[in-house]
Structure 1
């Protein structure tokens, strides 16, 4: 079947991109019509004619105005005028949310481009952070979109979301620029749509010629010694693979190299090697992160680029020396930025730039003699940022070389890893290696000196400061080592609290006389907790858990729960015994079972808490939750003690949180069970929670938290 599809025509993703390009042309044509119509509407000749013949002149102007502003015409914000009343009317159309027809057609093109990326990599659409961002941007919810984007930036474990989704983020930000109410963003958005050079930043229309507030720091460098193991991996002879292997030794921890190579002609030349983006959230100690990569795409001035320049100066490279720049990913982009700088190219003779897995596009170095090579795997979506179509393997331009090949590794981020590119250059495209090495002949000699420099960025408070800045330790699990306490940088939660029969609640607890459900009058309290963890130290995941509030394990007293709420969480005696939990990843399941002794199963779910509406879909688990929460009032922070059971011991886990929780006392939320047979659905059926509404609901639309490792109790 796959062979038949290939033989019958281009792949579906290429067809989508081709359609996107055609739709962009249509959008640009509509925009030109808007401009011409606006120029006629505000032409001085028509204005003076209307004054002389008001009856026909004003009727003509009214018809043009309706064509520009009517929803069935060119749209409410279609007026294009440099100043005066035309600009005011166009801004009014933006504020009223009447997008122009051209903008809506352009948005269609952007969505086609996003669909093409997700067709290549459908796993990206399953990331909860990306789902949240996509939904917020396409629905024109600016505040939610900014929160979602910040969440992705913070996610320490979301290498896919940060490094891989860069092209989709570009499209999403272009959609936001076209749909928002700020006309300043229009030109930037249209430049992103049409693939023109950007003159403003992608978010607020800030000029790209000036650093943003976050990037004012000039950076710093510090010469450091590589470890003994790293020193063994530094090549002693110059070649493309030698430079790449040396760069791979340093990984992506904020360091670059400057090497001195004695060429075949006896001339000493210099090679700068810059690794790619460090995985995870933006770092406060280094510009080599996703925030720096994003900045690199829209301006030649960025902290990473400036830091590399400082490293070259710190090394003492003499003015006029021959310089080759070799980079991977963000490092290649930063080096291309240096090669485009006139002042830099006057100080040094940049002879070669080799970018592996970088979006080089049609960037032109300041020195026309500079030889530029771009090597990209078509499955690597980071280079898609330049929006180029798949071209020939070799560019005939004498100073331009492009190798765009199809590698055997499809899954991201593996296909973007430098070591994978090195393997492909040896086995899949050895001819490319030979061609680049031939161009690098002046640098094919012994390496006489290698210096490693650590790049520094301005100091920032750690993420989650002060709550999440706690001592950590590594604990082994079946899914690999885990740092505890587990930290949650961005989550949302809804706790559905049900009064239930005390005897039924007791039947769900361990068979021990000393563990009893807390009584609220004649009833016990069962809690169905619904979490969307968008950013955690064990990766993003969803969590659905059922628990029962229990008394002090040693000295139960009446009203313990009320008194406990006034105590610090580490001094509380009551807590919630976790009866069953379902989590969205195998890593989270291993942590729940092995660290917290919770009976966890793997099951995907979609949790959406927006405003006063709650929606949960978990078809694998056989349940769903939907309804309105009603009005809510602020309440204290939702710190909790959670209990689990391991062998003959209870396991006590502390959860500390900070957010803006609210309690909803009149929720109209319903739980539906759709034939689920897992432990969670079974216990929900025993409690008959699908037949009643919760007594009250606690919600936290956005909070941070950390969970300690479970402590064994001899009971």
Structure 2
């Protein structure tokens, strides 16, 4: 531990000196960049000063020459750079935007990027395995050279080759630096402030590196917050700590982490005074939810304003607990819980009502935050491999430390994979075995709270006045059905999906030869041809998990009374009254649960495969290496179509299974001229053989139905006696 109360990773003395030298150089270079930026600001102010403008009008010869000299100093490549003009409006805005588009980065930004490159070199010096990794080297080179397309390709290759966990774990040490470089070098001037805040290690004052503010994602999180007292289960009560200690409080947080709860305990200290400990867990995994502020959007909002729903809910819980005014409080949180509690410690009104003595954040991005009461003791405990603390815009190992008087334990734990390294049980185990000196230091600081617990109360935090997710379309009654992987609620709901349906006119006899060998199932004819559909899906969130799906189907007539052209009349009927439908010839999905549900509930011949899909824009892209299948192309503008519900048929034994699919989204009709399907010579059966028999492997789709974002639900399959 250093003299400033910081725990750092252990390195050899010579290596530590070399790494620290690089970081000192980075600090010196960023000071130079800040100086150049100040010069640019003063020059820009002089250029657009009203006095100089009036002088140029009165004495055009000298006044215009002076303005021209200032403009050249700002825009010349050998001067301050083409992007040095950042006036919010008027001609200055136009000139600054032109400089960005022409690729003339400001001199201050380029010097700042040099500082960031030194910081990246320091990280790579400490972790040479990242420098040797070709994927990491390719990504770092592309970002620092401002080659966006190459950077995206490198990042996708990194995730594809190493998997999400290994790729995220490798990116953690460089995340802050790479984001800062991207913000400083891109063509969006709105990102500049974010880039400078990340470079200088200042507190976050802007949104993500897209030029937006925190209000954009926070717009989905409008609840005011609510809290209700709830009872712990018998097993939970046996696990809750009865004596105050750091490990005891952290185990309490793990107990209440499920269900969006926090814990408030009254502890009688060694001096007989009752003090209060607030314990808050981190983010609840999954999509943004409507019943709890501890979802993904919650930590995003907590990073910026102190009045986030999570923080407001904790305030309501403390008011319900009846804590007397002026009482001592210790705030202990993990992940998002640490951010929300730090927001409370930053609130001057809250600190006037209570005396916040301690804030202990484990795996939380709180390094750049100052409590309102300077007497508050703040401890930040972070694993260097944990991605979440980087959200603050500053890596705990970066060159800048805006709070040298605080206790920071930044250690290299044995757990490197994300998100495993962020889990509270890992931090608890590391405090017990890897960094026991940190546990000892924090327990010593918590001495007033080292006593018996006299009251324990859990509170469930809620978002106030929020409708259920998917309301009203996806709020339907459900029934659990058994499968070999466990019960599944049907209808299966899809909260966020994209789809593209490639429609081909195929030989009717070839289509009939692929259908089951029964006389009463015949393909629907359009003239002399049948219609086959290759459906591509990207399900980002569903009740059976995220997965990609590729389905080949053929339109079929009524199973009992087939009529010519009945499909045209059937489209005018409600989906539950239709007699025609699409028979699924083959199906490939990317998750085991989806495969089991497709086979056992919907009667569809699903196989599992790996796939990567991007169907949200006009540029369609889907690759399934295991199937030897790839679809790429660009869609035209298209025509808006009515929402299309549909009926799917499958087979289970000797019976036909009928499934209803109800959709809600913006469907568009496109010509198929810009879309290409490629089938490898070693493509997997049975889908590859069926595509070839239908002639789809070499044909262009007649038309494409696309829906970049929609929701839908699939009913349980109804067994028909056919």
Give the TM-score range, shorter chain. Answer: 0.7 to 0.9
- Return closer, same or farther for 1:298/1:107 CA change in 2, 3 Å cut-off: farther
Task: Give the whole-Å Cα distance in 2 for the aligned partners of 1:459 and 1:573.
Answer: 42
Task: Give the whole-Å Cα distance in 2 for the aligned partners of 1:619 and 1:34.
Answer: 52
Task: Give the whole-Å Cα distance in 2 for the aligned partners of 1:514 and 1:108.
Answer: 73
Match of 2:407 among 401, 408, 413: 401
Work out whether 1:101 is the aligned partner of 2:105.
yes
Shift of 1:252: 3.8
Work out whether 1:446 is the aligned partner of 2:435.
no
Q: Name the structure 2 match of 1:690.
A: 697
Match of 1:239 among 233, 242, 245: 245
- Return closer, same or farther for 1:630/1:362 CA change in 2, 3 Å cut-off: closer
- Return closer, same or farther for 1:21/1:593 CA change in 2, 3 Å cut-off: farther
Q: Name the structure 2 match of 1:526.
A: 532
Work out whether 1:435 is the aligned partner of 2:441.
yes
Question: Number of aligned pairs?
Answer: 665
Work out whether 1:597 is the aligned partner of 2:603.
yes
Kept in 2: contact 1:30–1:101 (CA 8 A): no
Task: Give the whole-Å Cα distance in 1 for the aligned partners of 2:201 and 2:595.
Answer: 44
SS class of match (2:526): coil
Shift of 1:199: 4.2
Shift of 1:278: 1.3
Shift of 1:510: 1.9
Shift of 1:652: 1.7
Kept in 1: contact 2:244–2:453 (CA 8 A): yes
Match of 2:586 among 580, 583, 589: 580
Q: Name the structure 2 match of 1:350.
A: 356
Q: Which moved more, 1:667-676 or 1:516-525?
A: 667-676
Kept in 2: contact 1:332–1:355 (CA 8 A): yes
Task: Give the whole-Å Cα distance in 2 for the aligned partners of 1:280 and 1:18.
Answer: 41
SS class of match (2:594): helix
Shift of 1:201: 5.3
Task: Give the whole-Å Cα distance in 2 for the aligned partners of 1:174 and 1:237.
Answer: 48
Q: What are the ranges of 5 or more consecutive residues in structure 1 without an aligned counterpart?
A: 1-5, 126-136, 140-157
Q: What are the ranges of 5 or more consecutive residues in structure 2 without an aligned counterpart?
A: 1-11, 136-146, 150-164
Q: Name the structure 1 match of 2:711.
A: 704
Kept in 2: contact 1:496–1:528 (CA 8 A): yes
- Return closer, same or farther for 1:193/1:609 CA change in 2, 3 Å cut-off: farther
Q: Structure 1 length as normaliser, TM-score?
A: 0.81
SS class of match (1:643): strand
- Residues 139-184 of structure 1 deviation map (CA, whole Å, 9 limit, x = unaligned): 8xxxxxxxxxxxxxxxxxx9x99xx999979987996898576x66
- Return closer, same or farther for 1:353/1:593 CA change in 2, 3 Å cut-off: same
SS class of match (1:686): helix
Task: Give the whole-Å Cα distance in 1 for the aligned partners of 2:434 and 2:480.
Answer: 39
Shift of 1:439: 2.2
Q: Name the structure 2 match of 1:133.
A: none
SS class of match (2:437): helix
Q: Name the structure 1 match of 2:720.
A: 713
Work out whether 1:498 is the aligned partner of 2:504.
yes
- Return closer, same or farther for 1:66/1:647 CA change in 2, 3 Å cut-off: farther
SS class of match (2:525): coil
Q: Name the structure 1 match of 2:330.
A: 324
- RMSD (CA atoms): 4.4
Match of 2:561 among 538, 543, 555: 555
Q: Name the structure 1 match of 2:294.
A: 288
Q: Which moved more, 1:85-94 or 1:428-437?
A: 85-94
- Residues 207-237 of structure 1 deviation map (CA, whole Å, 9 limit, x = unaligned): 99xx977777543322222222322222222
Task: Give the whole-Å Cα distance in 1 for the aligned partners of 2:614 and 2:88.
Answer: 42
Kept in 1: contact 2:303–2:339 (CA 8 A): yes
Work out whether 1:652 is the aligned partner of 2:652.
no
- Return closer, same or farther for 1:33/1:588 CA change in 2, 3 Å cut-off: farther
Q: Name the structure 2 match of 1:544.
A: 550
Match of 1:311 among 311, 317, 335: 317
Task: Give the whole-Å Cα distance in 2 for the aligned partners of 1:643 and 1:177.
Answer: 54
- Residues 648-667 of structure 1 deviation map (CA, whole Å, 9 limit, x = unaligned): 22222211111111222453
Shift of 1:325: 1.2
Q: Name the structure 2 match of 1:663.
A: 669
SS class of match (1:235): coil
Q: Name the structure 2 match of 1:130.
A: none
- Return closer, same or farther for 1:391/1:186 CA change in 2, 3 Å cut-off: closer
- Return closer, same or farther for 1:381/1:320 CA change in 2, 3 Å cut-off: same
Kept in 2: contact 1:191–1:198 (CA 8 A): yes
